[in-house]
Structure 1
């Protein structure tokens, strides 16, 4: 059992916090209202695309063989995904959405790009309330993604999942956050 699994099973994650393990360190990050609101808007858009709620969730453990597990802000899984207690394999993940919790967050902009791409997650959408833009990454490969498009808040973002389902997200409701805001 991984450290992350152990924390989740024992209910040791304080409410309002996200816990992840990176480079052997446990990182606890409080979620901001902007993160919650953005994830909620994306979840609504994904469900409006006809994707069943059982395939869309946030902060649920995703296992990565030989690497630290993760609990993305929002995950969309395939039609035949196998639940393993309270987690899913990265091999079942079609898309991941993360919301940057700090400006130029290395975890989201570097480590997650490499990890999600290396494990073949087709779509990685990174919403950044500090830049007021989303970055849509597709064409995964061993070092990240072959295609990255930055789209300012206020413009729609669309992508097609490997299942053929098309998702369009209206980013005009995404909240911005001041870099100096605590």
Structure 2
């Protein structure tokens, strides 16, 4: 399977696994990268987040179990049935407010990826939707780096079988 890559200087990739859909999607997104899980990102005013996947600056330093939001280049959230509103609305507003340059929402149920860029005090100005199965998606990061997500390799939820 082709794996997502970060080109240019190295970056730290952080993931948090929560469910079957989450874990298979996040593994697909972070394959062949230096991946750490269960790491929190600390935001001002005591707000903390454990994003599904985060790409941090190469020189990011952990403070206890947390990294600073200032070290984040990209945060990706994988939608689950119970988290859709949070992943699409709440997280986009929070990450934009704190200047996270790229927020990616991966929705296995809609088979699409939404890339939010140009953060503002209330969210992100730009949002571009990409359908699963449309090839490689290069996502520009700071300092000339690129994170490439293979939209052909993202897993889809298993169809539900009838109850017995």
Per the shorter chain, which TM-score range?
Answer: 0.7 to 0.9
CA distance in 1, matches of 2:71, 2:60: 5
User: Which residue number corresponds to residue 106 of structure 2?
Assistant: 127
User: Which residue number corresponds to residue 93 of structure 1?
Assistant: 72
Structure with the bigger RCO (C-alpha within 8 Å, sep 6+) is: 2
Residue aligned with 1:172, SS: coil
In the superposition, relative to structure 1, how do residues 170 and 32 fare at CA in structure 2: closer, same or farther (>3 Å)?
Answer: same
Residue aligned with 1:91, SS: helix
| TM-score, length basis structure 2 | 0.80
Residue 175 of structure 1: how far off its partner (Å): 1.8
The partner residue of 2:142 within 162, 171, 176 is 162
User: Which residue number corresponds to residue 151 of structure 2?
Assistant: 171
In the superposition, relative to structure 1, how do residues 137 and 179 fare at CA in structure 2: closer, same or farther (>3 Å)?
Answer: farther
Where does the alignment leave 5 or more consecutive residues of structure 2 unmatched?
1-15
Contact 1:130 1:176 in 2 (8 A): yes
CA distance in 2, matches of 1:87, 1:143: 24
Residue 59 of structure 1: how far off its partner (Å): 3.1
Where does the alignment leave 5 or more consecutive residues of structure 1 unmatched?
1-17, 19-29, 48-52
Runs of 4+ in 1 over 6 A off after TM superposition: 178-181
| RMSD of aligned Cα (Å) | 2.2
Aligned positions, number:
145
| TM-score, length basis structure 1 | 0.72
Residue aligned with 1:66, SS: helix
CA distance in 1, matches of 2:83, 2:62: 33
